[in-house]
Structure 1
Amino acid sequence: MINSYEEALNFIHGRSQFKKIPTLKRMRRFLDELGAPDKQVNAIHVAGTNGKGSTVAFLRNILQQDGNTVGTFTSPFLIKFNERISVNGVPISDKEVLRLTQKLYPVVKKLDQLLPEGGPTEFEIVTAMMFTYFAEGHADVVIIEVGLGGLFDSTNVIVPKVSVIVTIGWDHMHILGNTLPKIAYQKAGIIKPGVPVVVGRIDSEPLEVIKRVAEEKQSLISILNRDFRATSTGENNWQQQFNFAVKSHQINGLTTHLLGDYQVDNAAVAIAAYRMYCQRLGKPVNLQSIRNGVKATQWAGRFERLSIKPTIVLDGAHNISAVDELVELLRTDFSDRRLFILMGILADKQADKMVTKMATLPNTEIVLTHFAGPNKRQAADPEKLEHQVGQTADPILTITDWHQAINTLKDKLTGNDMLLITGSLYFISDARKYLLSNFK
């Protein structure tokens, strides 16, 4: 039996991460054993290669401004496991994690005995915890972020009020496919018959796949830059400004602390999803909720400025698509600064492409480092990576110990310089804890 929070986490993290054959049958059986809690949850389902977290944060804040109690299910966590299941941005307690794990434990053990491939995976257990918790009535609406892909993701048992696909980019190709249309097909797996879907900025080929699936499912589709638009009006004092338009309606002068044109896209997708959700529930769209919700949104680890003097920024860009967006932001809004970029990347990402892209920035020094990857996932070897990309890019340095790397680079900062720590959400989670405890 499980008697403490630590034992609960050990049990969850000790489970297998993947099974050989992707299926939702095991998840459906698991939830049915628990009384089908997913069927008692009022949800919005969010998929996408990048931008899911920010879109969820924007949407949560808008819905909260509307007077809703909003649950969220997100991954990975930045500081503590409990963040994955939150209410109005507040993670559930250790006590609740223990209670939910104790409730699920006998069912998991039963399925371990009954199912030929064994019982639920780690993510299936966490997903079931979330459904169980929110079926108890802790939130008016729950925004559920897909873990990986969509079609066979354990969250995909849900029939939501609105589905959202934020972006399609290169990530998890060994699981989702090696072309953008194949990846798009996996993400489009969250589209349910008759449930409207909101889609962000997506290239034409993968977008055609999503449109085709929506047509087959007879789902109304609303697409950024076709059915609704967002126009950036620039960054001022670490605030992004933009206008939003849909049909004959326009909301001007929106501001957010999340910087970059890609965050304007994410905010626009969230606004469109909120409008669609209101429409489905027959509720009025509150323009003040949109304005205040967007302005109130903070999201740790998304171009997050941890320190002003010196300027230290964390960004969770962890694949080539996200690095492309980050480079564009730096080129557009921070070209007047000398940049020091510290990168720790997981080995199963396109690490060489990520570093090479970063090296296209002028006036930039890049340092590669090592960190302890999550579970059994390995971090890329910084020395091998330096050798790999050093032939084509400007001098790239390696400081294997990331604590030492932060301290070394921090000491180099003067005046308007910026230290950017990036490459992996897991790495910036470690760096964030270290910085907050050592540089206050």
Structure 2
Amino acid sequence: MFSTYEEALGWIHSRLRLGMKPGLQRMEWMMEKLGHPERRIKSVHIGGTNGKGSTVTFLRSILQEAGYSVGTFTSPYFEKFNERISLNGIPIKDEDLVRLVSDIYPLAIELEQTELGGPTEFEIITAMAFQYFGHVQPVDLVLFEVGLGGRYDSTNIIYPVLSIITSIGLDHTAILGNTYEEIAFEKAGIIKPGISVITAVKQEEALAVIQDKALSMKSPVYQLGNEFTISDHNSLNLGEFFSLKTVFQNFPDLEIGMSGKHQTENASLAVMAAELLNKLYAFLIEVNHIRAGLKSAFWPGRFEILSEDPLVVIDGAHNEEGVAALTAELNNRFGDKSKNIVFAALADKKLDKMISKLDSAADRINFTEFEFPRAAAAEDLYNLSKNSRRQFHTDWKELLEAELREAGKNTVLVITGSLYFLSEVKPILLNLLENNK
């Protein structure tokens, strides 16, 4: 079918032309043909606007400390495509990816001849994950991250042991709706009958939608601020320090290596999930597993400090809420430094409010662009900015070289925006930093 990794990956990416197709019928059709691998998997389903990847990482790390084998399905990838399907944090091998694509390809061709139409790229990858963890490499638990929304997301054919909704923000509004209530309705679509829901959603109107859906499903809700609460938060040089109280026990003096107050919330969701896995499903997770798991968890591109001299930070702030968290953290940690920001984004985002927040935080801001079907043009981003010290450059590599040459002791260089952009930037940036030593 496919003999090389490059051929297999090329075919997957060719499915991008089909765009997004809401609905679960194509997934259900493929699962039937594959013998329903999704029914063989014990899983946790994680949705929300921001924080999904970090929450997955914290929970995976805790479970690994407890000795469990953990699969993850996440998006987008950061350094290599295979990351999207990982076992204990290690991306699947190239030969496994080729095998999975060869399993799915004939189904995709057959499906194209039906009234349902061919599967999208994301549906293909999701089917690969189900096939891998259901038939090829069974594990103790799989953490499935929702791709978009929840109700009609291709992952939503699973019946998990827990559901997590991290946050609600005004992202993908053209697809999910223009209000917090509308978006919450889509996110709440992952709630299953009788299955506990853990959430850090703050907006009252969004929370009401989630609670109403959970009530109709007879699903218990564990809400940050009620059933589990954070206290004694302090930022460390690298990471955060906080205490957590759940309905089951207290966790004083927890430490995480990921920076940002919002990461304490993601970590608390993971702890609450670990507690419920322990109490409801007999996962043997001790306090020391939780402490060690939180401290060792790492997720690239989330307020990641690549260098301290010069001070360089990358952060995948790709929506308004993400930018708000980034700017708050910059002011908290580097309030005394000049902030030079490099920003590239996808054109289908609500860019005006994101750029307005960045304008307020930046002493200087440079807009750039990258090769991606939905990427915004640098000049278009520039025209949305009102910062008096703004510029745009179409060549981001030349821009970064110039920024590093100019970086001083009292400056922090921040590269932010689309995670697709950061995945291209990081290896080049690390190489530039190494050469500049």
TM superposition score normalised by structure 1: 0.95
Paired with 2:17 and 2:181, the residues of 1 have a C-alpha distance of 25
For structure 1, the residue ranges without an aligned partner over 5 or more in a row are none
Distance 1:18 1:155, change over 3 A: farther
Q: Give the Å deviation of 1:387.
A: 2.6
Q: Give the Å deviation of 1:124.
A: 0.8
Q: Give the Å deviation of 1:21.
A: 5.8
Larger mean CA deviation between 202-211 and 223-232 belongs to 223-232
Conservation of the 8 A alpha-carbon contact between 2:343 and 2:417: yes
Secondary structure at the aligned position of 2:155 is classed as helix
* Alignment partner, residue 120 of structure 2: 121
Paired with 1:248 and 1:40, the residues of 2 have a C-alpha distance of 30
Q: Give the Å deviation of 1:427.
A: 0.8
CA shift digits 1:66-116 (9 cap, x unpaired): 110111000000111100000111000100000111111122222122x21
Paired with 2:345 and 2:16, the residues of 1 have a C-alpha distance of 23
Q: Give the Å deviation of 1:436.
A: 2.4
Q: Give the Å deviation of 1:295.
A: 0.1
Is 1:380 paired with 2:399? no
Paired with 1:169 and 1:76, the residues of 2 have a C-alpha distance of 18
Residue 395 of structure 2, aligned match among 373, 394, 401: 401
Alignment of 1:51-200 (within 5 A): 51-113=51-113, 115-136=114-135, 137-200=137-200
Paired with 2:14 and 2:388, the residues of 1 have a C-alpha distance of 42
Conservation of the 8 A alpha-carbon contact between 1:240 and 1:255: yes
Distance 1:85 1:415, change over 3 A: same
Conservation of the 8 A alpha-carbon contact between 1:201 and 1:225: no
Conservation of the 8 A alpha-carbon contact between 1:369 and 1:382: yes
Distance 1:248 1:276, change over 3 A: closer
Is 1:431 paired with 2:425? yes
Secondary structure at the aligned position of 2:15 is classed as coil
* Alignment partner, residue 354 of structure 2: 354
Q: Which runs of 4+ in 1 moved over 4 A?
A: 16-21
Q: Give the Å deviation of 1:394.
A: 3.3
Conservation of the 8 A alpha-carbon contact between 2:165 and 2:201: no
AA aligned opposite 2:176: L
* Alignment partner, residue 325 of structure 1: 325
Instruction: Report the aligned-residue RMSD.
Output: 1.5
Q: Give the Å deviation of 1:280.
A: 2.0
Distance 1:231 1:372, change over 3 A: farther
Q: Give the Å deviation of 1:248.
A: 6.2
For structure 2, the residue ranges without an aligned partner over 5 or more in a row are none
* Alignment partner, residue 308 of structure 2: 308
TM superposition score normalised by structure 2: 0.96
* Alignment partner, residue 385 of structure 2: 389
Secondary structure at the aligned position of 2:8 is classed as helix
Secondary structure at the aligned position of 2:79 is classed as coil
Alignment of 1:31-42 (within 5 A): 31-42=31-42
Paired with 2:217 and 2:138, the residues of 1 have a C-alpha distance of 31
Distance 1:2 1:328, change over 3 A: same
Distance 1:17 1:74, change over 3 A: farther
Paired with 2:352 and 2:5, the residues of 1 have a C-alpha distance of 39
Paired with 2:20 and 2:245, the residues of 1 have a C-alpha distance of 45
Secondary structure at the aligned position of 1:409 is classed as helix
Conservation of the 8 A alpha-carbon contact between 2:41 and 2:138: no
Larger mean CA deviation between 63-72 and 102-111 belongs to 102-111
Secondary structure at the aligned position of 2:77 is classed as coil
Q: Give the Å deviation of 1:319.
A: 0.6
CA shift digits 1:293-312 (9 cap, x unpaired): 00001111001111121111
CA shift digits 1:277-318 (9 cap, x unpaired): 222213454111110000001111001111121111110010
AA aligned opposite 1:140: D
Identical aligned residues as a percent: 42
Paired with 1:98 and 1:19, the residues of 2 have a C-alpha distance of 23
Conservation of the 8 A alpha-carbon contact between 2:401 and 2:432: no
Q: Give the Å deviation of 1:139.
A: 1.7
* Alignment partner, residue 335 of structure 2: 335
Distance 1:52 1:20, change over 3 A: closer
Paired with 2:347 and 2:92, the residues of 1 have a C-alpha distance of 32
Paired with 2:341 and 2:279, the residues of 1 have a C-alpha distance of 44
Secondary structure at the aligned position of 2:148 is classed as coil
Paired with 1:252 and 1:97, the residues of 2 have a C-alpha distance of 42
Conservation of the 8 A alpha-carbon contact between 1:30 and 1:120: no
Secondary structure at the aligned position of 1:98 is classed as helix
Paired with 1:370 and 1:421, the residues of 2 have a C-alpha distance of 12
Paired with 1:73 and 1:232, the residues of 2 have a C-alpha distance of 33
Q: Give the Å deviation of 1:119.
A: 2.3
* Alignment partner, residue 365 of structure 1: 364
Paired with 1:268 and 1:17, the residues of 2 have a C-alpha distance of 39
Distance 1:355 1:98, change over 3 A: same
CA shift digits 1:169-222 (9 cap, x unpaired): 011111111111100000000000011110113210000000000001110110
Paired with 1:318 and 1:420, the residues of 2 have a C-alpha distance of 14
Distance 1:102 1:20, change over 3 A: closer
Distance 1:247 1:279, change over 3 A: closer
Alignment of 1:213-228 (within 5 A): 213-228=213-228
